[in-house]
Amino acid sequence: MEWEFETLVLPRDLSRNVVTRMLVERAEHGGWELDRLRIGNDGKRRVVLRRKIIRQRLTLFAS
């Protein structure tokens, strides 16, 4: 299984509710899920989101 990753750096002045709503929006509409969340000493949130890469396979039908 392959994953696509996206990293977001969010400033410290965003409230927890705003960050939660933003991540829920990305999950519902973009198919992203939370992989990692780190809060640095400077208060910035570093968020790593991931989603599955779905590859279509070529199907050949023999006639």
Range of the domain at 15: 3-52
- Count structural domains, the chain: 1
39 part of a folded domain = yes
The model's pLDDT over 7-59, given as tens digits with 9 standing for 90+, comes to 999 999 999 999 999 999 999 999 999 999 999 999 999 999 999 998 887 77
Closest alpha carbon to 5 in 28, 29, 26, 25 = 26
pLDDT at 17: 97
63 part of a folded domain = no
27 part of a folded domain = yes
22 part of a folded domain = yes
40 part of a folded domain = yes
14 part of a folded domain = yes
32 part of a folded domain = yes
pLDDT at 63: 59
pLDDT at 59: 77
Phi, psi (degrees; rounded to nearest 5) at 43: 90, -5
